[in-house]
Amino acid sequence: MRKGALYNYLYLKTILFAMRNLISLFLSSAFLFSCTKEFVPPKNTEADADLLAIIAPSGDADHKTGSVQASFLSSNSVFTVASSTLSNLAFPITFISTAQNNDSIVWVFEGSTASPTTLRGNVNSPSTVATQVFYQKLGKFDVVHAVANKTDFNVIRKKDYVSYEFQDNLTIDAANDDSWRILSAAPIGWIAPDDSYVYLPCEESLVSYHTLRDPNTGEMLATNNDNHVLSKSFRSFGDEPKNLVFEYKIDFIALPTVADVNPKISLSYNPVITLGSGINSVDTDAYELWSDVTYEVTRFRQVIIPLPNLSDFDLVFTKYPSALGANEEQLHPFTVCIRKIRIVASE
């Protein structure tokens, strides 16, 4: 064989060997890639067990087959109450299942007066398809609705679907148990919002003015420098944890030019403790829950205060005079406004 032909032969053989190795490597990689198992997250067996504890496919030969989806309507879900006595207040809600292709129905009404709170039935029971329950406690409560047939089931949980809270009516009337009462000597130490006046910086607020004057003569009242006290009784509010929520504003005629650390407004709590049947309630001295001495902030601010876990209590707001001058005049008169008073269940 000639030398040139030999070189060509060896060159082609080398090329074929390299190509064979490349093809083998490619097929090996493709095989490995195609056979690698897809990652599947592990099932949450605890969550599945919780769902199956509520409802599961029936396996009943007489039941429907196919997919199901839980859904429902309700007559209401948000309640606010202005009454300061909650013992006899229970609010009804009608729930209607709108699921299709199901045989079984389960409801769970957390926080309701239903006993038990879990209702089980089927689509042939009108009281299960549409049912009415009552809520009597402050709070936010979940509603669970579950449906199933022979082969499938579905569960939905509506978080905080029902809410129930106290929302103050911002009225002052000593003859009305649901209103605030003025305990200080000056009958106009606090004023409630109504159609007869509007204090523009503090609309829809309980207001204690910077200066008390006779409405007829305009003369400053002798009680101008007194503490102006506003109180309200709350009864049968349950022993669950709860918060008082409100907004307040301190509105100065002119901001003080020197530090004024005197208290401006405070909130006190007076527990009413019942010792037992036939024994009168025990009234104790009110103690301070909150106060403010600031003088440089004049916008509305929100306050959230945890209340003791007592059912019966009084809340007392006190507006103080500013620092007094040599002639007993207030050096830095200010108005206090309080609004959006609520009592809600603790989170």
Domains of the chain, CATH where assigned: 45-166 (2.60.40.10), 169-345 (2.60.120.260)
Supply the pLDDT for residue 328.
85
Q: Give percent of the chain above pLDDT 90.
A: 56
What is the Cα–Cα distance from 185 to 193, expressed in whole angstroms?
Answer: 20
Residue 343 burial by Cβ neighbours in a 10 Å radius (0-12, 13-18, 19+): buried
Q: Where are the alpha helices (DSSP H) in 135-233?
A: none
> At residue 281, does pLDDT exceed 90?
no
Q: Give the contacts of 285 (CB within 8 A, at least 6 positions apart).
A: 270
> At residue 283, does pLDDT exceed 90?
no
| DSSP code at position 180 | B
What is the Cα–Cα distance from 4 to 15, expressed in whole angstroms?
Answer: 17
> What pairs with residue 230 in β-bridges?
182, 317
Confidence of residue 294 (pLDDT cuts 50, 70, 90): confident
What is the CB-side half-sphere exposure of residue 225 using CA atoms within 13 A?
11
Supply the pLDDT for residue 109.
96
> At residue 27, does pLDDT exceed 60?
no
Supply the pLDDT for residue 15.
46
Residue 120 burial by Cβ neighbours in a 10 Å radius (0-12, 13-18, 19+): middle
Q: Measured in Å, how far apart are the chain's first and last C-alpha atoms?
A: 96
Confidence of residue 29 (pLDDT cuts 50, 70, 90): very low
> At residue 292, does pLDDT exceed 50?
yes
Q: The pTM is what?
A: 0.77
> At residue 4, does pLDDT exceed 70?
no
> At residue 244, does pLDDT exceed 80?
yes
Q: Whose CA is closest to 94, among 146, 141, 130, 140?
A: 130
Mean pLDDT of 100-109: 96
SS3 50: helix
SS3 301: strand
